[in-house]
């Protein structure tokens, strides 16, 4: 603990994986040889840097940038960049650690990494965001590359920011290296279905979990927290499957619409106007209402998809959801449920999908974007979505099978942790002590 003092989220993520590893180590003691488990917890490289930029009023602003290159046993480091004022080393390390196992679960050749900055894009002009992205990439560019480390988006980093960062990378290196970033726009090397992939993928996972109990999303009440990239496309797929999204949120509050959330309106508010979710009830009028602060998990539902941020759903929220009859919970975000919440769901026999399995569709499609870039190809939406659906089905089935094999049927947390760990561990053993 003293080695990583003050990194609460990192401790939480490591503890959660360790809780699953007892069974695998009992069966395969060789996984403890050569300090493999200690090595897996230590990032290969951590970069922390100054990001100076000039705001619209001419003031110099300083932010702190991070890139944690966690594990490259399976392929180049791969993981998103987060711009949010809460970003610190512990958060980036927790995300990089989770990412390593998530990427392994996809079965694709990608290692794990994560980055970001404590920059708050809220209220910043387009010019300020561009200058920030350029300054961030001015340092980051020397640490990344198609065969080294391939960043993507995360909270606060979408298509606009990836575009500015790619532009700066291209300018600094004088190389059109499309495979250095994923989540790019379609006109300059992006993949169809990447924007949709994380949200769609988490809903495929839910459908497959529900099917194990002979159920599906048709007619189910669903609550999705957040209204960003993951949340928007989770809602889109839920609606396509006949589910009814009754609530979504942002960091200021949540809206409830008993008639089913009007997704086009939410997209207009969030993707086009970049406004607050409170605008929804103002524009929609009757049937919808906005609740400032408060917990979105008080809204009764059968399926819950937390898709905003870490630790947004605690034990009390989980008990409320269980009392209201929730059947399935799928983590669209990374570690949105506290350990106590996960225990509450598992004790109540609620189907629970951990983020490293349920939200892996985004990074999987990023790996498909890398494939398209490497072969200078561009696949159709249908072909890409089909691959995504196959990968999510495979992740679900791998987690379920692994949980059975290790004597914990239905425990997707254990299944995901063990299956991801085994892939990384096998590669690390093969590569020697490095
Ligand atoms: P976005 O920035 O697009 O959206 C984030 C949403 O969550 C916004 O509605 C935001 O509200 C809300 N939010 C962010 N921080 C907080 C907070 N501290 N408290 C309450 N609400 C908050 O991010 P993404 O949709 O890309 O990411 C959401 C989650 O999904 C993250 O955990 C991310 O790591 C994870 N994820 C994302 C992937 C991707 O492909 N994008 C892939 C896999 C996981 P506001 O606008 O008010 O800040």
In DSSP notation, 380-419 reads -HHHHHHHHHHHHHHHHHHHHHHHHHTT-TT-HHHHHHHH
Residue 102 among known ligand-binding residues: yes
Report how far residue 205's alpha carbon sits from residue 398's, in angstroms, rounded to the nearest whole number. 12
Give CA–CA dist 121/251, Å, rounded: 14
| 200 vs 145: CA distance, rounded Å | 28
Write down all domains in the chain, each with its CATH number in brackets. Answer: 2-14+42-177 (3.40.50.10860), 196-349 (3.40.50.720)
What per-residue confidence (pLDDT) applies to 96?
A: 98
Nearest CA to ligand 1 atom 43: 359
Model pLDDT, residue 211: 98
Quick one: 354 exposed, middle or buried, by C-beta within 10 A (0-12, 13-18, 19+)? buried
Residue nearest to atom 42 of ligand 1 (CA): 362
Q: Which residues pair with 60 in a beta bridge?
A: 54
Q: What is the ipTM for the molecules in this complex?
A: 0.99
Nearest to 342 by CA among 27, 90, 15: 15
How much is the pLDDT for 286? 84
At residue 3, the pLDDT reads: 85
Residues paired with residue 292 on neighbouring β-strands, in sequence order: 253
Q: What does the pLDDT read at residue 13?
A: 98
pLDDT in tens, 304-348: 999 999 999 999 999 999 999 999 999 999 999 999 999 999 999
Work out whether the CA dihedral 415, 416, 418, 420 comes out positive or negative: positive
Distance (Å, whole) CA 306 – CA 58:
39
User: Can you tell me which residue has the tokens 């399926």?
Assistant: 303
Please give the pLDDT value at position 285: 83
d(CA 262, CA 60): 41
| Angle in degrees, 0-180, between the axes of helices 89-105 and 361-374, rounded to the nearest 10 | 70
Spans of the chain below 50 pLDDT: none
Looking at residue 262, its pLDDT comes to: 98
Which residue is associated with the tokens 């979505």?
385
Q: Is the CB of 278 within 6 Å of ligand 1?
A: no
Please write the tens of the pLDDT for every residue from 364-412: 999 999 999 999 999 999 999 999 999 999 999 999 999 999 999 999 9
Indicate the DSSP class of residue 72: -
Radius of gyration of the chain (CA): 21
71 lines ligand 1 (CB under 6 A): no
Q: Is 366 annotated as a binding residue?
A: yes
| Residue 356: active-site member | no
138 lines ligand 1 (CB under 6 A): no
Is 57 assigned a ligand-binding role in the annotation? no
SS3 101: helix
Ligand 1 in reach of 153 Cβ (< 6 A) = yes
Q: Tell me the three state secondary structure of residue 257.
A: strand
**pLDDT in the model for residue 86:** 98
Q: What is d(CA 256, CA 128) in angstroms, rounded to the nearest whole number?
A: 33
């Amino acid at each position: 603990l003293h080695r990583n003092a003050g990194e609460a989220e990192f401790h939480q993520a490591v503890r959660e994986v360790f809780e699953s590893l007892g069974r695998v180590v009992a069966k395969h003691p060789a996984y403890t040889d050569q300090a493999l488990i200690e090595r897996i917890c230590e990032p290969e490289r951590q970069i922390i840097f100054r990001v100076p930029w000039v705001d619209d009023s001419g003031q110099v602003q300083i932010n702190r940038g991070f890139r944690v290159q966690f594990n490259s046993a399976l392929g180049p480091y791969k993981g998103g960049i987060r711009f949010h004022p809460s970003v610190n080393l512990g958060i980036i390390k927790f995300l990089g650690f989770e990412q390593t196992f998530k990427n392994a679960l996809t079965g694709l050749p990608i290692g794990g990494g994560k980055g970001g900055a404590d920059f708050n894009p809220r209220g910043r002009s387009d010019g300020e965001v561009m200058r920030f992205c350029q300054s961030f990439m001015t340092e980051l560019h020397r640490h990344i590359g198609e065969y080294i480390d391939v960043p993507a988006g995360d909270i606060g980093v979408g298509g606009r920011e990836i575009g500015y960062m790619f532009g700066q990378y291209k300018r600094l290196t004088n190389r059109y290296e499309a495979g250095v970033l994923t989540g790019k726009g379609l006109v300059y090397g992006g993949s169809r279905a990447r924007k949709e992939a994380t949200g769609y993928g988490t809903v495929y996972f839910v459908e497959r979990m529900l099917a194990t109990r002979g159920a599906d999303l048709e007619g189910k009440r669903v609550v999705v927290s957040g209204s960003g990239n993951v949340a928007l496309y989770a809602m889109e797929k839920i609606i396509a499957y006949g589910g009814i999204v009754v609530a979504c949120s942002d960091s200021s509050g949540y809206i409830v619409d008993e008639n089913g959330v009007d997704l086009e309106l939410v997209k207009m508010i969030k993707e086009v106007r970049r406004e607050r979710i409170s605008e929804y009830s103002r524009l929609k009028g009757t049937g919808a209402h906005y609740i400032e602060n408060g917990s979105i998990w008080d809204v009764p539902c059968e399926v819950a998809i937390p898709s905003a941020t870490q630790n947004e759903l605690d034990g009390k929220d989980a008990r409320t959801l269980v009392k209201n009859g929730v059947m399935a919970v799928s983590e669209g975000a990374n570690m949105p449920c506290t350990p106590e919440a996960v225990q509450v769901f598992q004790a109540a026999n609620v189907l629970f999908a951990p983020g490293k399995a349920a939200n892996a569709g985004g990074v999987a499609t990023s790996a498909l974007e890398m494939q398209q870039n490497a072969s200078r190809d561009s696949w159709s939406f249908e072909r890409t979505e089909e691959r995504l659906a196959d990968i999510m089905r495979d992740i679900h089935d791998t987690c379920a099978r692994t949980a059975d094999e290790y004597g914990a049927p239905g425990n997707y947390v254990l299944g995901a942790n063990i299956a991801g760990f085994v892939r990384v561990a096998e590669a690390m053993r093969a590569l020697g002590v490095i």
